[in-house]
Structure 1
Amino acid sequence: MASLSSSNSAYLLLFVVIGSSILAASAGDLKKDLEITWGDGRAKMLNNGELLTLSLDKASGSGFESRNTFMYGQIDMQLKLVAGNSAGTVTAYYLSSKGSDWDEIDFEFLGNLSGDPYILHTNVFSQGKGNREQQFHLWFDPTADFHTYSILWNPKNIIFSVDGTPIRKFKNLESNGIPYLKDKPMRIHSSLWNGDDWATRGGLVKTDWSKAPFTASYRNFKANACVIASSGSSSCASKSQPSNSWFNQELDSNGEKRMKSVQKKFMIYNYCTDAKRFPKGFPKECNMS
């Protein structure tokens, strides 16, 4: 993750207890790390596990999830999105826990009419509460080639990045009464599905099924993360000196500058500025991040 710095003060004790990240997922064989979960054959592993594709037609979409469950980590995946007229389609790539008070960290890519930009939709849920949407126009064609979409999740913050450029952060402000994502292990999920009731121009543009099947492609998955076993034990239980900087990473001044530049140029929606949605005042974290 570019433009990040490390600090050992506030979380030194916690870091020593959790220790270093054990897992470094293989970028070469997705079969080892990901499992197709639905789609009735519409999701496929190709090239000996180097490539995974999800497809959507009028009957169904498709999806996969990680074989492992994580509690903090740096997650990278390269995606190439649905090309051409993808209006109505949603390609979702996210971390999520289970239960009614789930935690979740979302990348969602909202399809478009040919020639219009994709919308990258992001959200953060803590204890089942989301409503923290930020949306961006991507500054490249995400259908022409693969690009890397990254989530850094540690005790200090969550940072969303695209090709190493930070676009959003969600700080741990638990000391101010704002719940943080700190105690619910999460799996990686992805799906390609029909969201034409809202995805493109608020649902005004519907999916053109004559263009189906729609296909998104994935490769080079990497997770430097703490893996949680079914017993509840963590692969990061080592008490040796930690060696993985992601656990304490935050944006440095250059990273903050780059993020603000992206937000100024490409952000098209920010819940923290939507006065119509929050007439009684913005969520508390909007004035603290």
Structure 2
Amino acid sequence: MKNITFATIALAALVQTALAAGKCGTQTCSQSTPCCVGGYCNSNAQYCMPILCEAANSFSPSSCWNTAHCVKSNVAFGSPNAFAQIADYDGNPADAAFVSQFEPSNAKVVNGELQMALVKQNNGAGFGATVIGTRAFQYGTVTAVMRSGCASGGVVSSFIIRNEKVGDEIDFEFVGADTATVQSNYYWHNQLDYTKMVKSPALSDTTLNYHTYQIQWTPDQIVWLVNGNAFRTVKRSDTWDAAANTFKYPDSESYISVGIWDGGSGAKGTADWAGGAIQWNKQPFVAAVKSITIDCYYNGNETTYVPSGGNGGGSSSASSSTTASPTSTSSGSSSSGGDSGSGSSSSGGSSNGSSGSKTGSSASSKATSSASTRSSKSAHSSQSESDSSVDEDSGSDSPSSSEDSSTGNGAGSLAASFGVLASALLAAYVAL
């Protein structure tokens, strides 16, 4: 009897564990659509890239693609392997240094430069673009030669370093309300303090002229430069929060992105910051990037920094890691914005393409790329996706492909679970 009781209890525990494993919202991801993002399962890059993929909620922890780490590079967008549409990306960063995060895509390479457009949708809001790096980046120098697409109030362009899951961000943001400066800001763990925004000195029209924007990020400080001239420095030591007993300094491995989105359709604070509703008679709105240069802090290839004792400070160490081939792919992005009525921005990379509340950052289209959209929304605070409403509506539409496959996914996982249970039950009887 004792054996039977023990076997029964063990089997019940196994049943509970199996049924709870891999829960993605109301779905259970299957082997054919293994990656979970925001409650939906799929097998493409938007879902499986590590920037958004939820390993604990996917078919298995190894379903999410492996993280490719920093490699020193000079990405000229007229060269091969610089850019790919996300639908064509299979997880190998050697094939594409940057990918367009959303579909339909408003990003493409034209005449040797990356062009990202903001276009008007039937509902009157704009749908933009976010292009994100395929390698994670933690400390170093990132330089973008670009011009903004902010030829009207309401249009926002961005150049950002962001960890969508943690909420750390360092950014440059351009708003149509002011084409003679660029704004700088940083955020820690999604604490969106727009009062920390600092503008650059006066520049020649950022929509007509290419300027060189650079972020130097080390464990000790962040420096923002335009055309080689530093105009802002934030030291880690100055971010100490005694009440929280921590440095509120962005230090998590992140992703580099550039984008354009509709801030004028967002909440009032975001719209005011961006310059009001977009004047569509001033189209086209196209942000263009000639090159992005990445210099890894640890000089090398695939290195990752792990803060000693977490975010709290102390010495740091660099550990080398080899990137394994990915098993699937995902999307990623960052975003930002300037909601909260203050008008500064908050994040900027992953957005869908639509309008803007400061939570997503680049373009927001709430409809086609729900996985990316969803994640960017929650992470930033305004620009990207929800830029127009990421923060506010937080509601990107769910991906139809994911929804279509959800029933099958659940059935496949349940079948596998019951197979395991059957084996366990048989083993229990044999033991008796």
* Deviation at residue 191 of structure 1 after TM alignment: 1.6
Equivalent residue, structure 2, for 1:282: none
Matched, 1:121 2:183: yes
Equivalent residue, structure 2, for 1:14: none
CA contact (8 A) 2:223 2:230 kept: yes
**TM-aligned CA distance change 1:232 to 1:212, over 3 Å:** same
Residue number among 102, 121, 140 corresponding to 1:73 in the alignment = 140
1:67-146 aligned within 5 A = 67-82=134-149, 85-99=151-165, 101-112=166-177, 117-131=179-193, 132-136=196-200, 138-146=202-210
User: 1 CA distance for matches of 2:184 and 2:216?
Assistant: 14
Letter in 2 for 1:155: P
Letter in 2 for 1:194: D
Equivalent residue, structure 2, for 1:180: 249
CA contact (8 A) 1:69 1:186 kept: yes
Structure 2 residue ranges without an equivalent (≥5): 1-69, 84-95, 122-126, 242-246, 307-317, 321-342, 345-432
**TM-aligned CA distance change 1:143 to 1:108, over 3 Å:** same
Partner SS state of residue 71, structure 1: coil
CA contact (8 A) 1:78 1:221 kept: yes
Equivalent residue, structure 2, for 1:40: 104
TM-score (norm 2): 0.44
**TM-aligned CA distance change 1:137 to 1:174, over 3 Å:** closer
Residue number among 286, 290, 294 corresponding to 1:223 in the alignment = 294
* Deviation at residue 152 of structure 1 after TM alignment: 0.5
Partner SS state of residue 41, structure 1: coil
Greater helix fraction, Structure 1 or Structure 2: 2
* Deviation at residue 166 of structure 1 after TM alignment: 0.6
User: 2 CA distance for matches of 1:175 and 1:34?
Assistant: 31
Equivalent residue, structure 1, for 2:119: 57
User: 2 CA distance for matches of 1:206 and 1:125?
Assistant: 26
Equivalences, count: 210
Matched, 1:206 2:277: yes
Which has more radius of gyration?
2
User: 1 CA distance for matches of 2:152 and 2:213?
Assistant: 19
Letter in 1 for 2:164: K
Greater strand fraction, Structure 1 or Structure 2: 1
CA contact (8 A) 2:149 2:286 kept: yes
* Deviation at residue 170 of structure 1 after TM alignment: 1.0
Q: Which structure would you say has the larger RCO, counting Cα contacts within 8 Å and 6 or more residues apart? A: 1
CA contact (8 A) 1:111 1:118 kept: no
Structure 1 residue ranges without an equivalent (≥5): 1-20, 239-268, 271-289
User: 1 CA distance for matches of 2:305 and 2:270?
Assistant: 39
User: 1 CA distance for matches of 2:255 and 2:102?
Assistant: 15
**TM-aligned CA distance change 1:118 to 1:105, over 3 Å:** same
Partner SS state of residue 128, structure 1: coil
Matched, 1:26 2:75: yes
User: 2 CA distance for matches of 1:195 and 1:144?
Assistant: 20
CA contact (8 A) 2:74 2:291 kept: no
Partner SS state of residue 173, structure 1: helix
CA deviation vs aligned residue, 1:232-271 (integer Å, no higher than 9, x gap): 799x646xxxxxxxxxxxxxxxxxxxxxxxxxxxxxx99x
Partner SS state of residue 281, structure 2: helix
**TM-aligned CA distance change 1:63 to 1:149, over 3 Å:** same
CA contact (8 A) 2:236 2:249 kept: yes
User: 2 CA distance for matches of 1:35 and 1:117?
Assistant: 27
CA contact (8 A) 2:139 2:219 kept: yes
User: 1 CA distance for matches of 2:274 and 2:147?
Assistant: 23
* Deviation at residue 172 of structure 1 after TM alignment: 1.1
Letter in 2 for 1:64: V
TM-score (norm 1): 0.63
Equivalent residue, structure 2, for 1:194: 262
Identity, % of aligned positions? 23
CA contact (8 A) 2:168 2:188 kept: yes
